[in-house]
Amino acid sequence: MKAIIGLTTFLGGKSRSFFSSVNDSYIYSVSAGGGVPVNIPISHNEEDYDSYIEILDGILFTGGDDIVPIYYGENPLKEVDSICSVRDEHEFKLFKKAYERKMPMLGICRGAQLLNVALGGNLYQDINQQIPDSLGHYPTESADDELYHSVKIKKESKLGNIFGEEKMYVNSFHHQSVKKLGTNLIITALSEDGIIEGIESIEDRFLIGVQWHPECLTKRYPKFLKLFNGFIHAAIEYKQNRF
């Protein structure tokens, strides 16, 4: 039995030719982890969300644009220059439906931030401006599969159980991060400068967010597939208990 994993998409393109798309690394990693990846187009029909939830066994909230700060009650800093409220609205509604059913969810980079905001948390809009003495988190000329900085992982956590390590090196492509935690979330990973790099639910459910991009590392560093294996295992259990 395989789990059907929905991948959220971003709106791209120019002029009238917009498209819903996702990086192939997500598709590869979900497939290599034992799941069946299905892209979720950004829908303008709210009735579609229940249909998505009926089809899927888990949702991977992917990376991309900054979340509009209005959603956590703030005006934007000048460093927030790439937003898409249409995507935000779509994903918040999708999250709500999945959360109500305790469907397994994994958030990566923007996706981790979305999980946090959806549960009432907020974000640092720009790490360099708002966190004194922060280290590098967004190398502009590095390949996606380059390890960049270390993270410390909480041993007694789902993330710790998945990787079996208390310190790892990861890639990094973000200028924002979790600030105040959302409801029923805990911190499970921190960078050396104290940036939140991992969060998860304290409840009996698979809801994990990581700030790095493990999907870009699975080919070169297969140990990062463990996160996808764990996610998809939870999705299979969800599928079995649902029917």
Q: How far is residue 10's CA from residue 21's CA, in Å, rounded to a whole number? A: 5
192 catalytic residue (yes or no): no
How does DSSP assign 194-228, residue by residue?
--EEEEEESSSS-EEEESS-GGGTTTT-GGGHHHH
109 catalytic residue (yes or no): yes
User: Helix, strand, coil shares of the chain as percentages rounded to 5?
Assistant: 35, 25, 40
Cβ-based burial of 192 (10 A; exposed 0-12, middle 13-18, buried ≥19): exposed
Q: Annotated catalytic residue: which of 91, 197, 200, 215? A: 215
Residue 15 in 3-state DSSP?
A: coil
Q: Annotated catalytic residue: which of 91, 213, 216, 233? A: 213
Residue 230 in 3-state DSSP?
A: helix
Q: Annotated catalytic residue: which of 84, 109, 216, 233? A: 109
Q: What are phi and psi of 59, to 5 degrees?
A: -130, 130
Q: How far is residue 191's CA from residue 167's CA, in Å, rounded to a whole number? A: 10
CA atoms within 13 A of residue 43's CA, in its CB half-sphere: 15
Residue numbers annotated as active site: 109, 213, 215
